[in-house]
Every structure is written in C-alpha cells, then in structure tokens.
Amino acid sequence: MRTLMFALALLTVPLAAQGQTTAPPAPAQATQVQAAPELTRRIDALPVLINGSGDFEGTFDASFKAQVPKAQFDALGAQLRAQHGKAVGIEQVTPRTPHQAVVRVGFEKSVATIQIIVDPAPPHAISGLLISQVEPRGDGLAQIEADFRALPGTAAYGVYRLGDSRTPVAEYRGDAAMPLGSAFKLWVLAEAARQVQAGTRKWRDVVTLDTRSLPSGITQNWPTGAPVTLHSLATLMISISDNTATDTLLRALGRDAVDAMVARAGASVPGATLPVLTTIEAFQLKSPGNADLAAAWKGAGPDGRRKLLRDNATRLAATKPDAAMFEAKPLALDVEWFASPRDQAALLDWLRTRSGAEALAIMAVNPQVPGDAGFAYAGFKGGSETGVIYGSWLVRTKAGDWYAITGGWTRPDAAVETLTFMSLMQRLMRQVATN
C-alpha cells in the first residue's frame, strides 16, 4: 500500500527542490545550532508572504517557483487565512542547521509548524517550505477528540502510557477495528524480530527478491532474484513502505508464522485479518475484474479466505493490478488488514519489550514526528490507500516514559485528507511531548 507521507507542504509544495517529502532527522542535541542571519531574515518575512504581500519573486528560488507559481502560493495563503486568520508573527524558531529550521508561525486562531530551507549561497532564496502541522490555540485533548469526532466517515485513536501495563491517556473508539493499510507491516517486522531473537534467523540472512508488487517502494524495479538481507528488506518495508520488500520478507518468514504473530502480539480479533495478505494479493483481490472474489473475501472467515486463495491462485497470479484503479474512489475496503488502536498499542508494546535493538532502530529510520517534539526515541509505521489512512508511533519522552500513539480514519465514499489526519496525530504527539 502507499506510504504515509509526513505532511503536505502547503498541501502541495515540496520541501525542497529535490522532492524531499519527509522531515530530515533532527541534529544531535549536544551542539547548539545557530541560525544564519540570512535564514532569520527569510523566516521573519514568512508572515508577510502568507498574508499575501512581500516579494515572492525575490524570496523563493527558481526551482520552487517552477513548481509553485505565485498565483498558487497566494491561493494557498488565502486558504490558510480563511481557516486560521491572518499570520501574526513568528513564535518559535528551532534551527536544525544554519540554513534550515523548524518554525512556529502564529495565526489569529492557530499556530502552524513550518519547516524552511534557504540556499546557503547568495541571494539565500527559500528552496523548501513545508507545513507539517496546524493546531488551534489553546489546544488540548478535549479539542483534539472533538476534531476527530467531526471527521466524516469513521475515526479512532488512542494514546497509551506503556510500562507494566498499557494505560490509556486519551482514547476515542479505542476498541474499534480499523483498516491499517501498510501499518500491518509492523506484524511482519515483529515476526522477523521474533525469529531473530529465537535464533532461527539472523538479520544478515540473505533471500532473493520474488514476485513484484506495485509501489510504494523501489525493489519492484530491481532484478528478480536479487539477493537481499532480511535487515534490508525490513528497513525498506518500514522506512519507505516498500511493498515488494514486504512480500519477499513475509514469504521468507512464512505466512503461518506471521499469522501467529497477529494473535501473539495482542490482536483482540485476529480473525478479522487472517490470513495476512501480501500486498500483491491485496491489489489482485481489489482489482475490478476480481470483484466477486473481494465480495467472497468479505463474508468468509480465516479458513474460508485461505481456501479462496488456494482455489483461485492461478486466477490471482494472472491478474495484473494497475495503480490507477485507486485514483477514483475507495476500492474494496474489506480487503485489508484490521486492528483497533488498543491492538496496535499492544503490538507496539511487544516491539518495545521483545523485538530487540535492531527492530527498534528500523522503526526509527523514518519517525515522522513534529520537528520540535523532542522525543528521545520515535518509531513509526503508517499506511494509506484511497479512503484509508492509519499511523502508529512508539515514542519515549525525554523523561524516559514510553507511549504508543496510534489511530486511523476511513471513508468508504471518498478519499481522506492526509494533512488533516497527520495534523491531528501530531497534535496528540505534542500533548505527549509537553505534558
């Protein structure tokens, strides 16, 4: 399934000319980074630009303006002002490098977190700008829950303090099973870690790439039979949601073993997901020509679904899914992987306590947390398809407390908005980080 993006820059603006779409890693805290004067000057100009004035042509570099013309930038600024009031000033600056920072821009009704990059060479134009979060002033758990409740479709989330038990800190429909998209890959990571911890596998074990899936990912373009370590497959699976890497790893571990992990790691109703589909199987079942199989999948239990896969193996193998089939509307959302926020919290807790250092490091490659959250550790896996979005974070605060932050949103009738969902989840993270 598609990887879950960290945020959308002004809904469409890339972070930098090279198309970076995820937050770069925060620098080590041991050295205090100072913003260069030219970065400070560009930051100070942001409220004026957002409010529709200022020197757009002289502020942004050519690659930025090629992707985001002034008319588009002005329209997006107008959208922000309509929702949040005028930009009133800079409230906080956290430099990451002398020419890159996370900035809190105050609006009349809200506060936006913006990442900015300026060119180190004169005239020091802005080359990257990304809004990763917009939160209401005076935000709190009650307001976040109200905003989740107002979402069209179905949503659920939970924040759980992890220790000897899992203690809910905030929860809305925490026992509701939600489609996970690529967040199901945490079960695959957990089983890989279990086999390594048991001594039956090593992270350096080599397997060969097999059946290709659709993107996201890169290994679908690699040669069939390319040798890859389990560690590389797991890292690609979690960090960039590589579907072909996921399927290769799942098959190497064994579907029955991954199925067993679903229950072992705390799923309350494992039968809602079993058997754990590979991504290519899910795409094949969702293909319009297999609508009858998707309908049968919905009504079958785990044994019936296993039989369906066996009996229709040739037909499914001959199905060549097209990624364009997801563009119009949600498609066969019963062909998915399901868990509740409480289930995902149990899985994250299993990973925290039993997966080992390598698995936790893999989860932290692409943590997707607000740039100024300041967690001592953050690991993440999310997923999305049209009509579905889900995210699960395992974090440790600077005080040493562990939390699971997990939730999802689904609509059977329309696409969901990534920026809206990620802003809500990041607001939950900020509550954890600051309380």
Residues 6+ apart with CB under 8 A from 417: none
Q: Which residue has the tokens 């019963």?
A: 334
Q: The pTM is what?
A: 0.81
Backbone dihedral region for residue 52 (phi beyond 0: left; psi -120 to 50: alpha; all else: beta) = left
Task: Identify whether residues 210 and 102 lie together within a single domain.
Answer: no
Residue 86 vs residues 103, 278, 416: alpha-carbon distances, Å:
16, 47, 26
Q: Which domain holds residue 62?
A: 37-136
Angle at 332 between CA 330 and CA 338, to 5 degrees: 100
- Tell me the two tokens of residue 184: 């199901």
CA distance 381 to 425: 13
101 half-sphere exposure, CB direction, 13 A CA radius: 27
CA distance 1 to 323: 10
In-domain check, residue 75: yes
CA distance 368 to 4: 9
CA distance 313 to 403: 41
Note the pLDDT tens digit of each residue in 41-73.
Answer: 999 999 999 999 999 999 999 999 999 999 999
- Over residues 130-145, the mean pLDDT reads 89
Note the pLDDT tens digit of each residue in 76-102.
Answer: 899 899 989 999 999 999 999 999 999
Segment among 29-38, 67-76, 425-434 with least mean pLDDT: 29-38
Please tell me which residue, 4 or 109, carries the higher pLDDT value.
Answer: 109
In-domain check, residue 325: no
The predicted pLDDT at position 316 comes to 98
Q: CATH number of the domain at 166, please.
A: 3.40.710.10
Q: Does the structure show a pLDDT above 70 at 259?
A: yes
Range list of β-strands (E), 252-368: 338-339
Task: Identify whether residues 49 and 151 lie together within a single domain.
Answer: no
CA 221 to centroid of chain Cα atoms: 23
Reported confidence tier of residue 371, pLDDT bands at 50, 70, 90: low
Task: Identify whether residues 129 and 176 lie together within a single domain.
Answer: no
- Tell me the two tokens of residue 376: 């001592």
The predicted pLDDT at position 1 comes to 54
Reported confidence tier of residue 29, pLDDT bands at 50, 70, 90: very low
Task: Identify whether residues 167 and 128 lie together within a single domain.
Answer: no
Q: CB neighbours (10 Å) of residue 108?
A: 11
Reported confidence tier of residue 231, pLDDT bands at 50, 70, 90: very high
Burial (CB < 10 A; 0-12, 13-18, 19+), residue 410, is: buried
In-domain check, residue 85: yes
Q: What mean pLDDT value characterizes the chain? A: 91
Write down which residue in 136, 155, 182 finishes a domain. Answer: 136
Determine the straight-line distance between the first and last CA of the chain, rounded to whole angstroms. Answer: 34
Write down which residue in 81, 111, 136 finishes a domain. Answer: 136
The predicted pLDDT at position 370 comes to 76
CA distance 243 to 246: 5
CA distance 381 to 181: 10
In-domain check, residue 81: yes
Burial (CB < 10 A; 0-12, 13-18, 19+), residue 334, is: middle
The predicted pLDDT at position 372 comes to 62
Note the pLDDT tens digit of each residue in 308-344.
Answer: 999 999 999 999 999 999 888 999 999 999 999 999 9
**Per-position DSSP letters for 188-252, written without gaps between them:** HHHHHHHHHHHTS--TT-EEE--S--PSSSSGGGSPTT-EEEHHHHHHHHHHS--HHHHHHHHHH
CA distance 18 to 198: 42
Q: Does the structure show a pLDDT above 90 at 240?
A: yes
Task: Identify whether residues 262 and 214 lie together within a single domain.
Answer: yes
Task: Identify whether residues 173 and 230 lie together within a single domain.
Answer: yes
DSSP label of 13: B
In-domain check, residue 389: yes
The predicted pLDDT at position 328 comes to 80
Note the pLDDT tens digit of each residue in 261-279.
Answer: 999 999 999 999 999 999 9
Residue 310 vs residues 1, 25, 317, 332: alpha-carbon distances, Å:
23, 44, 11, 20
Task: Identify whether residues 157 and 101 lie together within a single domain.
Answer: no
The predicted pLDDT at position 138 comes to 84
Q: Are 375 and 331 in contact (CB under 8 A)?
A: no
Note the pLDDT tens digit of each residue in 70-83.
Answer: 999 999 899 899 98
Task: Identify whether residues 252 and 363 lie together within a single domain.
Answer: yes
Q: Does the structure show a pLDDT above 50 at 11?
A: no
CA distance 243 to 170: 32
In-domain check, residue 300: no
**Per-position DSSP letters for 173-192, written without gaps between them:** STT--EE-GGGGHHHHHHHH
Please tell me which residue, 29 or 431, carries the higher pLDDT value.
Answer: 431
The predicted pLDDT at position 19 comes to 27
Task: Identify whether residues 243 and 375 lie together within a single domain.
Answer: yes
Task: Identify whether residues 353 and 409 lie together within a single domain.
Answer: yes
The predicted pLDDT at position 134 comes to 85
Task: Identify whether residues 129 and 271 lie together within a single domain.
Answer: no
In-domain check, residue 270: yes
Number of domains in the chain: 2
Note the pLDDT tens digit of each residue in 171-228.
Answer: 999 999 999 999 999 999 999 999 999 999 999 999 999 899 999 999 999 999 999 9
- Tell me the two tokens of residue 39: 């970065």
Cis ω for the linkage preceding 25 (within 30 of 0): no
Reported confidence tier of residue 16, pLDDT bands at 50, 70, 90: very low
Burial (CB < 10 A; 0-12, 13-18, 19+), residue 415, is: middle
In-domain check, residue 56: yes
Q: Does the structure show a pLDDT above 80 at 7?
A: no
Task: Identify whether residues 149 and 241 lie together within a single domain.
Answer: yes
